[in-house]
Amino acid sequence: MTLNLGCALLALTLATTCLADLPDLDQIRQGFVNPPDDARIMMRWWWFGPAVTKAELEHQMQLMKEGGIGGFEVQPTYPLSTDDPNKGIRNLRFLSEEFLDAVAFTASKAKELGLRFDLTLGSGWPYGGPQFDLSQAAGRIRYVDVKVTDGIERQPLPVVKEAERVFAAFVGPFSDPNTGTNSYRQLQIADGYVLLPEDCRKQTRILFFIVSQTGMRVKRAAYGAEGYVIDHYRPEVIKRFIEQIAEPVLNACGENRPYAVFCDSLEVAGEDWTYDLLDEFKARRGYDLLPYLPALFDPSFPSSAEIRHDWGRTLTEIYTEYFNAAFQRWAREKGTRFRIQGYGSPPAALFSYAYADLCEGEGFNWDGFRESRWAASASHLLGRQVTSSETWTWLHSPVFMATPLDMKAEADMHFLQGINQIIGHGWPYSPQQAGYPGWRFYAAGVFNEKNPWWIVMPDLSLYLQRISFLMRQGIPANDVLLYLPNSDAWARFVPGRVSMNADFASKVGDTVIRSILEAGFNLDFCDDQLLQMRGQVSDGAIYFGDICYRAVVLPGVERMPASTIKTLEAFARSGGILVASRRIPDRAGGLKASKQEGDMVYKTATSLFKGPDAKAILVADDSQVGSAIASRLQPDVKISPAGTRLGFVHRKAGQVDIYLLVNGSNAPVEAAVTFRQTGKCLQYWDGLTGQVRPIAADQSSDKATTTSLALEPYGSAVLVFAPGQGPSASSTMAGKELLGSIDITTNWKVIFSSAAGDEDPEPMIMERVRCWTDYDHMTYFSGIGSYQRPFDLDQQWLRPGVRIILDLGTYQQITEDRGGRGAIRGGGRRFRAMIDPPIKDAAVVYVNGTRAGAVWCPPYSLDITDLVRPGINELRIDVANRAVNYMAKDPPRDYRQEYRQLIEQFGDRFQPQDMDQIRPMPSGLTGPITIKAVAAAGG
């Protein structure tokens, strides 16, 4: 059996963006200033227990809406409390009538509130539950190596566990010193024994191959959802999951269907076998895998890599066809969509996303191999406008340490990879009875109203909403396709390690991606199947719908299907840029690949890269790829000086070109940025304020436009090229002149409001502005400190062309967090913004009783011109910190003791992360604080 690519192509054609429907500049600008609701961020909403009530569900949905959050994804998960009638806490059994009634209520209320409602099928991750016994659980292959006595005629089969079955036995290995290979001899199994032929009775090893199970159970399961993870390769098991788990919860929603149903991380470690794999393998690959089983474990077996290629390819195909495609069909039949994080184990490939409706990724490392770019690439090649990502996982761990700046900085890195739907990780359902700061997920940030800095959440949400909207306009304008060699990944599979994206992260790696980005190009991933399904070669480019790619990179590729090399040959000979690093492909993958096919791959690649009529470029190292492309194609964005952590993403909407530039470092960046754009007006669109203004640019070249750009740490800028003429580089519009300033660092009154609902601390008089945590009795205070004082403004400053700016101070770069006990443990999965800000951690400013705006990221200043008056003005700065200070007063240490009764009843279902790092953080203002009068130079 093979996947029906034709049906997928038809469905994708219907979803592809039509350039004729693209909005014009005015529509885009209006949408940017006031973005549509569907561009709002979402949250993963953990229902702990689930111990939920309708009143609290409605309350929390209202809070989300007030915070600028556009929807949520319900995920039932483990209990955080035993039943407590005195507190009104009761865990509802998963799929019980009461649970389904809560789902129905949520679906209805979400629709009433205008919130998007997505629904995780099942509980926790991966899919599974008590409906499945071991025979239906995720499978694996294992072997038992038995040493036998010389001369023995028969050997009993090894004892196996429940649901396991010995299905093959081999004697060996027999080593061939001439070839360096090992061979094995298959033995016959009968009546619980294997029989050894006479000429094998001096061999001392028998390998027994066993169909086994991973034993993995659903992670973080809700009450009543405990059980084995399902076999993702068996249609009858998947059908059972749909009928017994997915159908009841979806049907509970009635006419209020979720926007999408969701499959969280696959993460089924070691799922590499299923009971009928041998039959599937033979039908798809054309030969029997049974005699070749030792090749899966012994790399010295003849053609081991090619056999493993065929095994891996079969796993990917049956996963995609039986799991992905089944849920996509079912979701569409039910009037919803199938959204999935399509990577991990079982070995989903990039093309597997064709059999889902919405692609989702995760990971913030924008200049390396991450699943956010993996998912966005699939969306781009499949003609889908929206790609979501699980965002803020592990952000600034431990819990309640993350700040709005942390959130913006990481989200921007997702945008750089092509993400345009943020799904925050996450929002814990927490009843009032749980106290302050409430329930929280074991390994994630908390982004709900329990954070005192919630006062700026609407402002942060609006920024993310604006950028998400812009990143959906038109089509992606990436020049480069980075080819992911599925055949090489399959050939490197070994039992227990069968993940496509993990292989690519290791073997394709980060260096080639950084080389492309640093050379001024952006990229998408591509594989053979998507190239076959959607790619069209024309005039030196490969088109996926309206999206045009001018360069293709082959990163150390060894194997390649003949169809792919022929497509790339046509591409290169029509003028396309084809670059290979480290080596060129020289074979087709698979044991039964014909010699003719392998020779064709080798000869075609040799002709393209090394022949007298060579059209392609071979470089020795991945780091040389970017410069090789730049030797034939003008960079889209060139940044000088080089070496900054400045990333970009480019969208094209008709004649409008939209660039998002992001400073991914804790250092300010000042750079000359050259764009491959000419003859257009350049505008700066401020994502924080919604303001749009033209900016000066040098358009003296007929090939490029250059402008100066200054970005604060973790700053971002949207630059838009549109038809028309803008100011020249000699324009004075960009200049600023300081007319004068007033230092207001001294004489502040501070009034406190506790987030925990405790008695508020007594107000303070600060002779000089400072953090309230400088006072011992305020160390563990979480809440809002309202800094208040008047200031006198001279009439001469209040004239046209002069702006009045409130400057709250500057930041410092740091190498570790400033707080109790030094740096928090980090690593590749944990992000935090490494600056010490003058506002700890967010502020809302009021001038003369009117809200002037929020300040929570650099630059720490605010234009208050429209609210000031001559003479005495009243200034109030509400500064909010983090809930972690309150937690640090009585920090959780031994979770087993804290949750002893819970563990006794439900088992040990989670282990809170980094709790030993809970500590109070500096909170308040540090100054200096000034009022500045600024005029445009020459004004």
DSSP assignment of 368-379: S--HHHHHHHHH
| DSSP per-residue codes, 605-664 | HHHHHTSTT--SEEESSGGGHHHHHHTTS--SEEEESTT--EEEEEEEETTEEEEEEEE-
DSSP SS3 for 201: coil
Helix pair angle (25-33, 457-470), 10° resolution: 160
* Separation of alpha carbons 418 and 513, rounded Å: 14
Residue 135 in tokens: 């025979």
Amino acid present at 252: A
**Does 163 have pLDDT greater than 50?**
yes
Q: What is the pLDDT of residue 842?
A: 98
Q: Are 861 and 380 in contact (CB under 8 A)?
A: no
Which range (12-26, 131-145, 443-457, 645-659) has the least confidence? Answer: 12-26
Per-residue pLDDT tens digits for 785-836 = 999 999 999 999 999 999 999 999 999 999 877 654 433 444 455 799 999 9
Nearest alpha-carbon partner for 229 in 348, 126, 342: 126
* Residues 422 and 461 sit within 8 Å (Cβ to Cβ): no
* CA dist., res. 386 & res. 379, Å (int): 7
Rounded percentage of the chain residues whose pLDDT exceeds 90: 85
Of 348, 407, 356, residue with least CA distance to 856: 407
Query: In this model, does residue 311 exceed pLDDT 90?
Result: yes
Nearest alpha carbon to residue 444 among 388, 387, 499, 406: 406
Residue 357 CB burial class (10 angstroms; 0-12, 13-18, ≥19)? buried
CA distance 931 to 861: 10
State residue 503 phi and psi, 5-degree precision: -65, -45
Q: Is 712 in contact with 749 (CB distance < 8 Å)?
A: no
Average pLDDT value for residue range 164-187: 92
Look at the block and give the residue holding tokens 């969509």.
337
Q: What is the spatial distance between Cα 300 and Cα 739, in angstroms, rounded to a whole number?
A: 78
Dihedral-angle region of residue 509 (phi above 0 means left; psi in -120 to 50 means alpha; beta otherwise)? left
Cα gap 826→49, rounded to integer Å: 30
What residue has token string 């209805």? Answer: 108
> Residue 64 and residue 357: Cα distance in Å, rounded?
26
pLDDT of residue 899: 84
- Strands 139-147 and 358-362 come out as unpaired
pLDDT, one tens digit per residue, over 701-746 is: 889 999 999 999 999 999 999 998 666 554 434 457 899 999 999 9
C-alpha 29 chain-centroid distance: 27
Both tokens of 292, joined, read: 């070749």
Is the model's pLDDT at 1 over the cut of 90?
no
DSSP 724-759: S---BTT-STT-EEEEEEEE--EEEEEEEEETTSPP
Query: Could you tell me the pLDDT band of residue 153, with boundaries at 50, 70 and 90?
Result: confident
pLDDT, residue 726, reads: 63
| Predicted pLDDT at 819 | 55
Distance from the first to the final alpha carbon of the chain? 74
Radius of gyration over every alpha carbon of the chain, rounded to an integer in angstroms: 30
Separation between Cα atoms, residue 285 and residue 305, nearest integer Å: 15
- Evaluate whether 480 touches 522 at the Cβ level (below 8 Å): yes
Return the bridge partners of 155, or none.
Answer: 194
DSSP state of 594: -
- Residue 145 pLDDT: 94
Q: Quick check: 186 and 170 in contact, CB under 8 A?
A: yes
Which amino acid, residue 793?
L
Average pLDDT of the chain, as a whole number: 93
Q: What is the pLDDT of residues 248-292, one digit of tens each?
A: 999 999 999 999 999 998 999 899 999 999 999 999 999 999 999
